[in-house]
Amino acid sequence: MNPSRSDLNRAAEDLRVIRSVLDQTATSFRALAPAFGRMGVIWLVCGLVSLATTGLDLLAYYFPQTLPWWSAETGVGQILYALTPWVMRVLWVYLLIQCLLWQRRKPDLPALGGKVLGIWQALLVCFLLLALVLEGGFQHLSQVTAVFPQEDFWAEGSWWLFYFARWFLPALFPGIPLVVTGILLRERGLLVLGAVVFALAVYVTFGAALFPLPGLSIPASLLQGLYPPVALLVLAWRLKKRPEGV
């Protein structure tokens, strides 16, 4: 006996109701907004410390008459140079902890939300691994070039490579996951935000490397520590506006 059309329609409607109930009882992806907000605030604080160091250093280099008191070996400069690496390490540890905490939230999310969060986790791990490799290589080559400043051309070229490659990391996180999130959640604003982050990472990296002019290098150093956390704060704000169950 074949089911009638009315029976099929009733069964389809029952499935839609069940799916709706399951989605509503699941934790919405918007519930992650506070986590992204905290991540953005902590990253912003760390970025401001880095900004104070690199920004003042560049200003003193290009315009020494404006900052005659600045020195990396004494006073405020010495404190900031000693503080910045530790601040960034604290940020990386926090990001790793947040990545692990996300794993506990995935079972409570709807299928689409869990998939999106998995992409964020994977790219965050890649970001942290590359950050450690690039920072370690940069610090090692800084010591090598300090010992052989005029003799080791390979080390000097590699130093510049590691120096600028670190500036491209925001394209990997949060740039790419923002683009993917915008596509999967059909959020055009997040898609545009991710594209802007990616474009800024390209500009900061290659613009400053190919055109080492004060008018480009100084804004690049100012942008590198600020636009990734600002993007995360915008993401948190956008997620709060999403309806429940998605």
Pick from 129-133, 140-144, 160-164: least confident: 140-144
pTM of the model: 0.79
pLDDT of residue 186: 84
**Per-residue confidence band for 236, with pLDDT thresholds at 50, 70 and 90:** very high
**Per-residue confidence band for 12, with pLDDT thresholds at 50, 70 and 90:** low
Check whether 226 has a pLDDT greater than 70.
Answer: yes
**What is the percent of the chain with per-residue pLDDT over 70, rounded to a whole number?**
74
Check whether 221 has a pLDDT greater than 90.
Answer: no
Question: Of residues 218 and 93, which shows the higher confidence score?
Answer: 93
Q: What is the mean pLDDT of the chain?
A: 79
Query: For residue 38, with 0-12 CB atoms within 10 Å meaning exposed, 13-18 middle and 19 or more buried, which class applies?
Result: middle
